Structure 1
Amino acid sequence: MTGLSTPAPEEPDRVGGYRIVRQLGQGSQGIVFLGEFPAGRQVAIKVLHSCFAADSDVRRRFQREAEIAASVATFSTARVLTTGFAEERPYIVSEYVPGPSLEELIRADGPRSGGGLERLAVTTLTALSSIHAAGVVHRDVKPGNVIMAPEGPVMIDFGIALALDATTSITGPMGTPAYMSPEQFTDQALTPAADMFSWAGTMIYAATGQPPFSATTVGAMLNAILNTQPDLSAIPHPLRRLVAACLAKDPADRPQASEALCELIGGDGARRAPAARAGLPSPRHIRPAAVWPQRVAGLWAPRRRRPRTGGRHALRPEPGLAASPVVPGGEDRGDRPRP
């Protein structure tokens, strides 16, 4: 979201008990305001444009946005607090996430590099993993929809998100052209792989300050996305390898968000096939496949304990085998007794 201004005269002064402080930005569906509760709590309020208020399909999609955002883990997105209607215009009240967008930050401070770029990649992949785990395709991953909050990046704006079990049909390409995947320009069914292509473009912007594809006409932009590859020389390894894999023209060749995250942090999550097809070397830090799911999911493996030699829980010898005696000063791992 861009722009900070006071509400226009025709906009409401209050929405759902919240006082409108200023306008934060606007998109194709609605206007986003900074609201404040009497106790001082600040929230973000997205109100549907008045011209769409009578359109039942748009209202249904707007309500669906709230349902989708509410289904995603709150560490990845702004938490939805409530929904309602203001003079027949639906609105969504969500947690206010302070901070500039990634697009605004890069414009002001320049491209990211080194550890800062890798941390951005890890946190945004974590957010996408959570979004996809909820059965959602964001469809508009771009620098403007990544808020650089004090606690870390947060993905916002599910205005054109698609639930994988959705039965409604939306025709025509939707998204921001420079960051859209090839299949978003066709009639192919969209999967989380589309977000991975857009994520790769977002990382290119973060590293260079330039969009992955640029052209003066829509036709030229489409040709670039379908037939060319962006310059990845500014992106360090191993991130460059993952970005290249996510830019594969075939959605089936792109790694999943969780796989890319695992490989970036040193596990065996990402598939090697996309990287091999891209002509890039496999990383040397690959761990056994049985290890990485525990690392990423936060699971832990119980530490192997030494067998107890006394008390009611002592290890019992198998029938026909004599237990090794243990004397004070000896170790309880099979050491023979000292004379």
Structure 2
Amino acid sequence: MRTPLSDPQRVGPYQIVGRLGSGGMGWVYLGRSPTGRMVAVKVVRPELAMEPEFRDRFEREVDAARAVGSLFTAAVVDADTHGDPPWLATVYVPGPSLAEEVARNGPLAEPQVRLLGAGLAEALRAIHAAGVVHRDLKPSNVLLAPDGPRVIDFGISRMLGAAGLTRSGIVLGTPAFMSPEQITGMMVGPSSDLFSLGGVLLFAATGEQPFPGGEGHLYRLVHGEPELDGAPDGLRELIRRCLAKEPGDRPNLDDLLAELLAEPGAAEPADPASSAEHALQAGGWPFPAVAETLRVHELPPPSGNAGTPGPTASCLTLHAQTLLDAGLTGEMIVEAMTRAGR
């Protein structure tokens, strides 16, 4: 199988292997550098690229992502914000999103949520230290990599202190995980990401949103109380504080990280200097339920006779998630990929 004709064969110096996904801003492709490095290439939709305001936003996305250096984010490796169309390339993260994992295997256990939350808190610490507010933290923007979670997609992030580019009356973000101040168009600061983190942790633990959708959803998000009945006892109060309506009532990231890394039921939080990276290494990441998926994602496409990836193997690598959802096991997919590469 080949990449669809509507998709590019090359973006900048990267050969396009296949499409990873698409969204309102554009498409994301799996690309290969001239040296064989795999990257995720985000390409802006042509109609958006024609808007000067959007190009400014996209350039800020690239600047914001480049400013952040953390184990728990996907680093930008290349970009052309003035290209036709504009694009950026980040490190390819071989793993499913949190949204995909919960849909496939159900909610995570409390110790797993704690490890996930610690990695996300470390990511937000690095993001905020770089002077950036993410503004769209949600389960689909959290990838589960072999060595920990990754926060991705700085598409609507904003550099702290920078003038806004959003048109009056337009709110950017994903409503289910947006903070009240985002919904109401107020000033958005780092604590907004803490609100979103509370929603992500609840989703990881229960598969549910703190403010269920339907009629009146936004009103409940701004004025109502979150539904936390399904949250683990050891995390319920922590999540509740993250979801506080007033930004000043939300915990700071250092305290949150120490609390997440503490033993459940411990009288005191963990040492504030505790490292999420160390906790993930000691805590059994990746979780058993996701390890098989990661094993498939990590496999590079087998080489063909000319040293280039076999087309069938490339397709299986890109669509391993679909095959798993269809009921095939990781072992079956690996066997098929091996046969295709011969």
Which has the larger share of helix? Answer: 2
> Which AA in structure 1 matches 2:42?
K
Whole-angstrom CA distance in 2 between matches of 1:82 and 1:70: 9
Aligned to 1:279: none
Deviation for aligned residue 1:123: 1.1
Query: After superposition, what is the alpha-carbon deviation per residue over 1:193-241, rounded to whole angstroms, capped at 9, x for unaligned?
Result: 1111111111111111122222224xx1111102222232333344222
Which SS does the other structure have where 1:34 is aligned? strand
Which SS does the other structure have where 1:92 is aligned? strand
Which SS does the other structure have where 2:86 is aligned? strand
Pair 1:284–1:97, CA change in 2 (3 A) = same
- Is the deviation greater in 116-125 or in 254-263? 254-263
Is the CA contact (8 Å cut-off) linking 1:101 and 1:148 kept in structure 2? yes
Which SS does the other structure have where 1:140 is aligned? coil
Aligned to 2:17: 21
Name stretches of at least 5 consecutive residues in structure 2 with no aligned partner.
278-342
Matched, 1:255 2:251: yes
Is the CA contact (8 Å cut-off) linking 1:23 and 1:31 kept in structure 2? yes
Aligned length: 274
Whole-angstrom CA distance in 1 between matches of 2:250 and 2:110: 24
Aligned to 2:148: 152
Whole-angstrom CA distance in 1 between matches of 2:184 and 2:251: 21
Aligned to 1:58: 54
Is the CA contact (8 Å cut-off) linking 2:211 and 2:227 kept in structure 1? no
User: Highest CA radius of gyration, 1 or 2?
Assistant: 1
> Which AA in structure 2 matches 1:214?
P
> Which AA in structure 2 matches 1:59?
R
Which SS does the other structure have where 1:89 is aligned? coil
Aligned to 2:325: none
> Which AA in structure 2 matches 1:94?
T
Is the CA contact (8 Å cut-off) linking 1:15 and 1:86 kept in structure 2? no
Whole-angstrom CA distance in 2 between matches of 1:241 and 1:87: 48
Determine which structure has greater relative contact order: mean sequence separation of CA pairs < 8 Å that are 6+ residues apart, divided by chain length. 2
Aligned ranges 1:1-339 → 2 under 5 Å: 7-84=3-80, 88-171=84-167, 172-217=170-215, 220-266=216-262, 284-286=267-269, 292-295=271-274
Deviation for aligned residue 1:23: 1.0
Aligned to 2:301: none
- Identical residues among aligned pairs (%): 41
What TM-score do you get using the length of structure 2 for normalisation?
0.74
Which SS does the other structure have where 1:43 is aligned? strand
What TM-score do you get using the length of structure 1 for normalisation?
0.75
Whole-angstrom CA distance in 1 between matches of 2:210 and 2:232: 16
Name stretches of at least 5 consecutive residues in structure 1 with no aligned partner.
268-281, 299-339
Query: After superposition, what is the alpha-carbon deviation per residue over 1:288-328, rounded to whole angstroms, capped at 9, x for unaligned?
Result: xxxx5545699xxxxxxxxxxxxxxxxxxxxxxxxxxxxxx
Whole-angstrom CA distance in 2 between matches of 1:54 and 1:77: 29
Deviation for aligned residue 1:115: 1.4
Pair 1:205–1:293, CA change in 2 (3 A) = closer
Is the CA contact (8 Å cut-off) linking 1:102 and 1:143 kept in structure 2? yes
Which SS does the other structure have where 1:223 is aligned? helix
